[in-house]
């Protein structure tokens, strides 16, 4: 087995430091009441707006996934089920609410009760329920930013106006709740920062088009997602991604890949099985298969195709990001198209669809996606099922069996193709 | 002295109880039991006849027949039918008067019932989606692991590294066991894991019915496989198994019959007084 | 009663004879399918089209193709609807209008779009933030967009007065449904729910004018009829707002000793609590009605009015003894709401029971036992 | 002369074959044992039985490939492959011209698209909620109090097969109990069960481009009722080899031969050094 399963550069340490600093701020907010904190969803988040108040985002999803990676998600899930949540409810929600009930936090520090629960509703109906329940249990004001779903190719003027209006209402709401005046300049600067971070992040993602790819655009990209969502709109974020780009670019220039030899290039669809993150990764590492692109790394924002926040139109660009530039609020066919572009432009050998039971937004209809890729496009596609948070739905032997069989077959196809090329 | 019967038409066995009341106290006179087969009426008859013989009572002396269980509607000679949840509660309350929570580990599903001090069902919760906690599951696991059901409890106590079963579906849980076996894990560790998972799952159900520090366990397989011990260890509660555990529901049906009979009598007496005869 | 049998035949037919018949009578007419939850049927009607509420295929169609597209843990109605499409059963339809219900149904919209490129398939985004003053304007624009699509499809132009006429027709229809529901709340022995349910469900498959006539006839029949009042408990059924329970299950619940005094069955047939205003801009009238007068369910979000408070109020209003949660398997919105509902009901001392069904299920032994136990626990000392 | 073996450790049964290319490629020994609680021992038993049958010493066997769920526990094996790859290979050997393989196993059902050389082009496996076709049948038999061998023949006598809607092995038990309570015959219930499984399997296979020839593999292929039900819903005859249940082991043995021969032109062995590192 290859000794070096994944890249461990200095950015990984820096990433840890940044995330700990964030948890430190949350801990401070819990103790002192400042800075103000706002619960928000990762998908299509509008962290730029919070900068205008010096407020810190609180992402329940990050808490939930941290818990799962540490193999601590089952207890809170069961606590939530005691309350009446069903076996088939999203396990992210159950883990988060279970933690609230049991007073568990993902670090040693405390988590604050947020100033406002801001539900950025970007397609996922579970978000609405989740935040509604949090608001009920925590007795915190709730505001929903209703983002029109991408049911047309491009958002309409009416869609944008609706979201911009709600962003303005959110500002008023936050002014009342924090007692702070919205700092428009700071907001504009945040949008400016975001656009720079996004440019860097996009360049990193495009590095994966090289062969070998200097990083795994699924497993490693997830590591980089924390800073992207928490620090995107801050100078720290820009610095972090500058360093990350430099480091990965150097690696790419030296033709260093994730594995000694990059045997397979994959596009990954769907969230990872966090409770078995390492086990799952090893199943691909065994075959020296590297993800060169993934849809999950675009839940918070889809930047590799050119979109950037625009400091000249800060509100409109935040609205545009929420409506059209994150995978969560885009429709299934737009996701097919995104994956198709990855397969072509990132030169992938196959697609792995990871069905997660918790998330119907991602998973409902993925069988049709498989049908499209295998039958219409002839792209080798594997479909495996488990969950992103609930360890009870990961069948290790079955999953491994399917992955092994997929690569045994892919190996054959690739070898045949290369022989044909030689002939 | 009222004479009445309760018949529990279960999926594998049909059980009958003949009951009377003496000095305001219900008393069991006889019991009968037979395989259910496909004809509910016949099995109910056979079980009842056996209980009547046991009690030394003639069929025509019976005043009331209450049925319960899966085939409760299939008994043509019944006076009333009541569900097995309601009757389990009444029966358990009679056998163990202080109980407030019942755990019924049946072949297909596990059920927790919260009851009042009079034996009334307050709330109940079934685990029908997850048959991994059911009797049939233990039976199958034992068979697969080549262990006799009676030895399961004993063997599981010898576990050194219990291997938990995490799946919430019986089919996937069986697969998990097979994978544990494939991975070379010791039989006693797997069995202990099954016991503990089962106890945990039961615990979750029992929480929903607000169990306190005691529970009454009913259901045949559970007893055989030594689940009571696992429940006591894991849930830190006292577990009681009623004497004549298999007859709890039949008894509960008979007890409810007794109540109905009494209230019918008092209405007819009242009617009798009203019309002066 | 012959009326109800006729109604149920209409709901059970997978080849949509009423739609085919309508299309024969209207050679240029279009039939538009929709999930009968919150869909502005008035727009479809005003465009001269036949809105048909699809509620799955029940147990009448084997799922043979759809489970390859929607895997485990997805509800039955999504799969049976897709199965109908993939097996040619939706052939009489020219379009399918989806609206905000849940993630699975929305993804189905786009799966249909890919597999049936010749069909008009659209998704209507209903606002989830009624507190925003901008929401009504957004919805008006959204209705306008849908209307324009329908006009394009039907090659027609819809005038305001046509829309007003459609609104009036549906207002009348819904007012009758409200009257039937009120009658049942007052005298449940006069209006058995298993009959009312057939009557309302049939409205999915009938032109509104015809359905209104049937409702009037039924109202007369119900008022005249009535059976002996039984010793039953009064219950509110909650959670069947989308996938519909099989008819035998409703009968079973009534037979077990329950009077259903309020429910959320076929919510799309009765989704406003009052008439849509008939003055001014009709799109504005429809939009404000959705914002302020749509009946509450687990898939309509309005954080100004918590749903759990609405449920308790509904129980009080209908003088019910208990609540029966009748939840479709894998219906995540209903699963979620069960938690706060349960908390508030327990706080208010209202007994409740949760049952799970699938529209395609046909054996009910376990459900029967649970309902009976529940009734027994409320009736016996 | 080259002698190779394939050992297929399944969830309920372990199969082993020895093949030789002496005078044409042929199977010279087969063994089938219950897997039971000790996988390693089951594999050894099956292999030893084969050796005895062929009057060979274990060291005479040049290369051994393990497959099936317990493949990593075959201590004496030289390498492992998944049973999907092995079934495809074995099926094309036994039934030349095979383009689609349908296998109903204890833990998983699968459909495989097979290339002209027995290579896997695409495959699909059952959804989580429809796991364990073999188990589905076994449970049905158990609930009805009959043996697994009787299930197929009885199902063929069904006059009015009942409707079974569920794909879930757990829920089917309640359905069967209900039917028994309604007085339905065992034949009709089993007929319904077989049709339900057949339809579900077809629905699985449809996710591929099903092409003839179709070969059914695995132990369930011995169940005539199942084969007939499947042929009826597919509307096409299938090939069933008398060695259906050994197909995984045969495929494994064929790969062993290629390995021994070094004739294996493709890089399919690349994963092996990692694979043998255990899991």
Residue ranges of domains in chain B: 3-89+246-274, 99-241
**Residue C328: pLDDT over 80:** yes
Nearest CA in chain A to B181: A397
**Could you give the 3-state DSSP secondary structure of residue D34?**
strand
pLDDT value at residue B108: 72
CA nearest to B201 within chain A = A78
**Among C349, C358, C377, the residue to mutate for chain B (most B Cβ within 10 A):** C377
Number of compact structural domains in chain A: 1
Record: contact B11-D39, CB cut-off 8 A: no
- Does B183 sit within 8 Å of D131, measured CB to CB? no
Nearest to D127 by CA among D106, D100, D108, D102: D108
In angstroms, the separation between the Cα of residue A70 and the nearest Cα of chain C is 26
Q: Which residue has the higher pLDDT, B267 or D232?
A: D232
CA–CA separation, C366 and D144 (whole Å): 19
Predicted confidence (pLDDT) per residue in A123-159, tens digit: 999 999 999 999 999 999 999 999 999 999 999 999 9
Beta bridge partners of B115: B121
Contact list, D176 vs chain C (CB under 8 Å):
none
In a mutagenesis test of the D interface, which of C60, C62, C63, C83 is the best target, namely the one with the most D β-carbons within 10 Å?
C62
Closest CA to C325 of C298, C348, C303: C298
Same domain, D110 and D147: yes
Over residues C90-103, the pLDDT tens digits come to 999 999 999 999 99
Distance from CA of A107 to the nearest CA of D (A): 31
CA neighbor of A308 nearest in space, from A196, A212, A225: A196
Domain count, chain D: 2
CA distance A74 to chain C (A): 19
The reply to whether residue B82 touches residue C376, judged by beta carbons under 8 angstroms, is yes
**Cβ distance B171 to D106 under 8 Å?**
no
3-state SS, A152-220, equals CCCCCHHHHHHHHHHHHHHHHHHHHHHCCCCCHHHHHHHHHHHHHHHHHHHHHHHHCCCCCCCCCCCHH
Asked whether the beta carbons of residue A129 and residue C336 sit closer than 8 angstroms, the reply is yes
The pLDDT assigned to B143 comes to 83
CA distance, residue D23 to nearest chain C CA (Å): 46
What tens digit of pLDDT does each residue of C184-227 get?
A: 999 999 999 999 999 999 999 999 999 999 999 999 999 998 77
Structural domain range at position D234: 99-240
Residue A353 is assigned to a structural domain of this protein: yes
Per-residue pLDDT band at C5 (split at 50, 70, 90)? confident
Q: What is the mean pLDDT of chain A?
A: 94
In angstroms, the CA D164 to CA D183 distance is 16
CB contact under 8 A, D35 and B131: no
Higher pLDDT, C230 or C108: C108
Which residues of B are less than 8 Å from A87 in CB distance? 129-130, 168
What pLDDT, in 10s, does the model give residues D20-64? 988 889 999 999 999 888 889 999 999 999 999 999 999 999 999
Q: Write out the two tokens for A282.
A: 């090893």
Interchain proximity B167–A78, CB inside 8 Å:
no
> Which residue in chain A is spatially nearest to B171 when comparing CA positions?
A395
Whether residue A1 lies inside any domain: the answer is no
Q: In whole angstroms, how far apart are CA C280 and each of C46, C48, C175, C274, C284?
A: 16, 21, 21, 17, 8
Domain contains A4: no
Provide the pLDDT for residue B121. 94
Position D277 scores a pLDDT of 34
DSSP string, C221-271: HHHH---PPPS-EEEEEES-SSSPPPHHHHHHHHHTTEEEEE--TTGGGS-
- For residue range D173-210, list pLDDT tens digits in order: 778 888 887 888 999 999 999 999 999 899 999 999 89
Element (DSSP H or E) covering residue C113? helix C103-115
**Which residues of chain D are within 8 Å of residue A411 when distances are taken between CB atoms?**
266-268, 270-271
pLDDT at B230: 87
pLDDT of A185-211, one tens digit each?
999 999 999 999 999 999 999 999 999
**Widest CA span of chain B, in angstroms?**
82
- pLDDT tens figures, A152-191: 999 999 999 999 999 999 999 999 999 999 999 999 999 9
Q: Which of the pair, C63 or A235, is modelled with greater confidence?
A: A235
Predicted confidence at residue D272, as pLDDT, reads 42
CATH of the domain at D79: 3.30.420.40
C369 interfacial to chain B (CB closer than 8 Å): yes
Superfamily of domain covering B3-89+246-274: ATPase, nucleotide binding domain (3.30.420.40)
- Residue A332 confidence (pLDDT): 97
What would the pLDDT profile of A293-322 be if each residue is shown by its tens digit? 999 999 999 999 999 999 999 999 999 999
Report pLDDT digits (tens) over A350-385: 999 999 999 999 999 999 999 999 999 999 999 999
Fold match flag (B3-89+246-274 vs B99-241): yes
**127-156 of B, contacting C, C-beta below 8 A:** 128
Q: Please indicate, yes or no, whether residues D25 and D123 belong to a single structural domain of this protein.
A: no
Tell me the torsion sign for CA atoms D155, D161, D166, D167: positive
Considering chain C, what is the average pLDDT of its residues? 94
What's residue D274's pLDDT? 36
Kindly report the CATH class assigned to C17-158. Answer: alpha beta
Sequential pLDDT tens for chain B (277 residues):
899 999 999 888 899 999 999 998 999 999 999 998 778 899 999 999 999 999 999 999 999 999 999 889 989 999 999 999 999 999 999 999 999 999 998 777 789 999 999 999 999 998 766 656 677 788 888 888 888 888 888 888 888 998 888 877 777 788 888 888 888 889 999 998 888 888 888 888 898 898 889 999 997 766 776 788 889 989 999 999 998 888 999 999 999 999 988 887 887 777 666 554 4
Q: pLDDT for D136-170, tens place per residue?
A: 888 788 878 888 889 999 999 999 999 887 777 77
- Give the CA count within 13 Å in the CB-facing half-sphere of D45: 14
Calpha distance B215→D206 (Å, rounded): 50
In a domain, A408, yes or no: yes
Please tell me the distance in Å from C267's CA to the nearest CA on chain D: 27
Does C72 reach chain A within 8 Å, measured CB to CB? yes
Chain B neighbors (3+ CB pairs < 8 Å): A, C, D
In this complex, do A398 and D119 lie within 8 Å of one another by their Cβ atoms?
no
Q: Are strands D214-217 and D239-240 parallel, antiparallel or unpaired?
A: parallel
Q: Which CATH number fits domain B99-241: 3.40.50.970, 3.30.1490.20, 3.30.420.40, 3.30.2290.10?
A: 3.30.420.40
Min Cα–Cα distance to chain C from A182, Å: 19
Q: Which residue has the higher pLDDT, D91 or B143?
A: D91
Instruction: Enumerate the domain spans of chain C.
Output: 17-158
* Contact status of A279 with chain D (Cβ, < 8 Å): no
């Amino acid at each position: 087995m290859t000794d070096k399963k994944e890249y461990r550069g200095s950015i990984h340490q820096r990433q840890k430091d940044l995330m700990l600093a964030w948890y430190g701020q949350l801990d401070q907010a819990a103790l002192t009441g400042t800075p103000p904190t706002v619960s928000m969803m990762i998908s299509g988040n509008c962290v730029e707006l919070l900068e205008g108040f010096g407020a810190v985002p609180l992402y329940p999803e990050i808490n939930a996934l941290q818990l799962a990676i540490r193999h601590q998600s089952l207890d809170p899930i069961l606590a939530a089920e005691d309350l009446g949540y069903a076996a088939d409810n999203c396990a992210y929600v159950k883990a988060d609410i279970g933690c609230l009930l049991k007073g568990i936090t993902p670090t040693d520090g405390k988590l604050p009760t947020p100033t406002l629960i801001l539900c950025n509703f970007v397609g996922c109906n579970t978000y609405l329920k989740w935040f509604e329940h949090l608001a009920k249990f925590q007795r915190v004001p709730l505001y929903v930013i209703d983002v029109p779903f991408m049911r047309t190719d491009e958002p309409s003027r009416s869609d944008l106006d609706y979201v911009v209006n709600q962003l303005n209402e959110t500002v008023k709401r936050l002014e009342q709740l924090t007692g702070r005046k919205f700092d428009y300049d700071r907001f504009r600067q945040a949008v400016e920062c975001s656009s720079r971070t996004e440019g860097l992040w996009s360049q990193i993602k495009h590095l994966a088009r090289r062969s070998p790819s200097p990083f795994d655009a699924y497993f490693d990209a997830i590591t980089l997602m924390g800073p992207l969502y928490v620090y995107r709109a801050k100078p720290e974020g820009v610095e972090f991604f500058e360093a990350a780009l430099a480091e990965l670019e150097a690696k790419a220039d030296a033709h260093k890949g994730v594995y000694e030899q990059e045997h397979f290039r994959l596009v990954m669809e769907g969230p990872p099985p966090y409770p078995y993150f390492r086990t799952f990764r090893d199943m691909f590492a065994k075959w020296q298969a590297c993800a060169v692109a993934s849809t999950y790394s675009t839940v918070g924002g889809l930047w590799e195709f050119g979109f950037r926040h625009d400091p000249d139109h800060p509100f409109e660009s935040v609205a545009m990001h929420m409506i059209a530039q994150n995978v969560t609020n885009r429709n299934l066919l737009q996701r097919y198209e995104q994956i198709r572009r990855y397969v072509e432009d990132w030169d992938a050998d196959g697609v792995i669809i990871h069905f997660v039971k918790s998330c119907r937004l991602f998973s409902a209809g993925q069988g049709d996606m498989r049908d499209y890729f295998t039958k219409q496009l002839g792209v080798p596609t594997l479909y495996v099922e488990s969950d992103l948070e609930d360890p009870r739905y990961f069948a290790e032997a079955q999953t491994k069996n399917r992955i092994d069989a997929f690569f045994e077959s892919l190996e054959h196809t690739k070898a045949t193709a290369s022989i044909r090329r030689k002939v | 002295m009222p004479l009445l019967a309760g018949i529990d038409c279960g999926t594998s066995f049909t059980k009958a109880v003949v009951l009377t009341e003496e000095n305001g106290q219900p008393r069991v006179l006889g019991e009968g039991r037979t395989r259910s087969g496909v004809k509910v009426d016949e099995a109910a008859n056979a079980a009842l006849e056996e209980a009547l013989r046991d009690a030394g009572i003639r069929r025509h002396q019976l005043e009331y027949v209450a049925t319960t269980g899966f085939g409760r509607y299939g008994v043509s000679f019944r006076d009333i039918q009541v569900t097995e949840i309601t009757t389990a509660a009444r029966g358990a309350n009679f056998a163990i008067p202080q109980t407030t929570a019942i755990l019924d580990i049946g072949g297909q599903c596990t059920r927790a019932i919260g009851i009042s001090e009079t034996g009334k069902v307050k709330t109940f919760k079934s685990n029908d989606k997850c048959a991994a906690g059911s009797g049939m599951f233990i039976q199958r696991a034992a068979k697969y692991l080549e262990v006799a059901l009676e030895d399961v409890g004993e063997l599981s106590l010898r576990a050194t590294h219990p291997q938990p079963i995490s799946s919430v579906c019986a089919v996937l849980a069986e697969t998990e066991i097979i994978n544990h076996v494939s991975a070379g894990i010791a039989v006693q560790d797997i069995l202990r894991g099954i016991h503990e998972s089962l106890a945990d799952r039961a615990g979750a159900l029992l929480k929903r019915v607000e169990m306190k520090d005691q529970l009454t366990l009913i259901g045949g397989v559970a007893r055989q496989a030594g689940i009571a011990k696992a429940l006591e260890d894991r849930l830190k509660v006292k577990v009681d198994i009623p004497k004549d555990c298999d007859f709890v529901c039949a008894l509960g049906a008979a007890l409810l019959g007794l109540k109905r009979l009494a209230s019918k009598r008092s209405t007819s007496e009242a009617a009798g007084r009203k019309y002066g005869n | 009663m012959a009326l109800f049998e006729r109604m149920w035949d209409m709901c059970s037919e997978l080849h949509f004879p009423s739609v085919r018949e309508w299309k024969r009578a209207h050679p240029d007419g279009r039939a538009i399918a929709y999930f009968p939850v919150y869909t502005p049927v008035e727009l479809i009607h005003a465009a001269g089209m036949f809105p048909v509420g699809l509620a799955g295929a029940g147990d009448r169609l084997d799922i043979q193709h759809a489970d390859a597209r929607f895997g485990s843990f997805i509800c039955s109605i999504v799969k049976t609807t897709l199965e109908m499409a993939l097996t040619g059963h939706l052939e009489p339809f020219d379009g399918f209008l989806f609206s905000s219900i849940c993630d699975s149904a929305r993804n189905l919209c786009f799966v249909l779009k890919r597999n049936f490129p010749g069909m008009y398939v659209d998704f209507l985004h209903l606002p989830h933030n009624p507190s925003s003053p901008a929401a009504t304007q957004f919805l008006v624009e959204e209705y306008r967009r849908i209307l324009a699509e329908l006009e394009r499809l039907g090659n027609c132009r819809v005038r305001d007065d046509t829309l007003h006429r459609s609104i009036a027709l549906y207002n009348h229809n819904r007012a009758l449904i409200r009257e039937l529901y009120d009658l049942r709340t007052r005298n449940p022995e006069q209006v058995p729910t298993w009959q009312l349910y057939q009557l309302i469900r049939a409205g999915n498959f009938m032109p509104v004018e015809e359905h209104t006539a049937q409702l009037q006839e039924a109202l007369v029949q119900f008022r005249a009829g009535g059976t002996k009042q039984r010793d039953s408990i009064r219950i509110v059924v909650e959670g069947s707002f989308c996938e519909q329970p099989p008819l035998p299950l409703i009968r079973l619940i009534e037979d077990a000793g329950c009077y259903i005094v309020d429910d959320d069955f076929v919510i799309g047939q009765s989704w406003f609590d009052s008439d849509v205003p008939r003055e001014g801009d009709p799109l504005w009238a429809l939009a404000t009605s959705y914002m302020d007068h749509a009946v509450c369910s687990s898939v309509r979000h309005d954080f100004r009015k918590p749903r759990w408070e609405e449920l308790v109020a509904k129980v009080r209003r209908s003088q019910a003894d208990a609540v029966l949660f009748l939840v479709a398997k894998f219906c995540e919105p209903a699963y979620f709401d069960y938690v706060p509902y349960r908390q508030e009901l327990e706080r208010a001392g209202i007994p409740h029971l949760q049952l799970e069904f699938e529209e395609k299920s046909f054996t009910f032994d376990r459900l029967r036992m649970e309902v009976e136990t529940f009734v027994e626990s409320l009736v016996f000392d | 002369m080259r002698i190779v073996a394939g050992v297929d450790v399944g969830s309920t049964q372990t199969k082993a074959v020895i093949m030789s290319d002496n005078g044409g490629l042929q199977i010279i020994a087969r063994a089938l044992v219950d897997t039971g609680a000790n996988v390693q021992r089951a594999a050894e038993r099956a292999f030893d039985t084969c050796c005895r049958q062929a009057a060979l010493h274990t060291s005479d066997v040049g290369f051994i490939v393990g497959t099936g769920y317990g493949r990593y526990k075959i201590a004496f094996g030289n390498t492992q492959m998944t049973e999907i790859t092995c079934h495809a290979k074995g099926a094309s050997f036994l039934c030349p011209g095979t383009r689609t393989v349908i296998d109903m196993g204890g833990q998983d059902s699968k459909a495989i698209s097979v290339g002209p050389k027995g290579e896997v082009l695409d495959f699909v496996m059952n959804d989580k909620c429809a796991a364990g076709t073999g188990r589905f049948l076994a449970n049905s038999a158990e609930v009805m109090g009959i043996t697994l061998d009787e299930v197929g023949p009885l199902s063929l006598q069904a006059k009015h097969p009942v409707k079974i809607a569920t794909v879930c092995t757990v829920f089917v038990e309640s359905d069967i109990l209900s039917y028994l309570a309604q007085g339905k015959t065992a034949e009709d219930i089993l007929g319904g069960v077989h049709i339900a499984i057949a339809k579900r399997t077809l629905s699985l296979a449809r996710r591929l481009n099903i092409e003839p020839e179709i070969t059914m593999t695995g132990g369930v292929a011995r169940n005539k009722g199942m084969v007939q039900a499947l042929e009826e819903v597919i509307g096409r005859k299938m090939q069933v080899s008398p060695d259906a249940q050994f197909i995984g082991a045969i495929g494994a043995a064929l790969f062993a031969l290629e390995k021994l021969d070094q004739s294996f032109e493709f890089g399919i062995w690349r994963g092996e050094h990692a694979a043998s590192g255990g899991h």
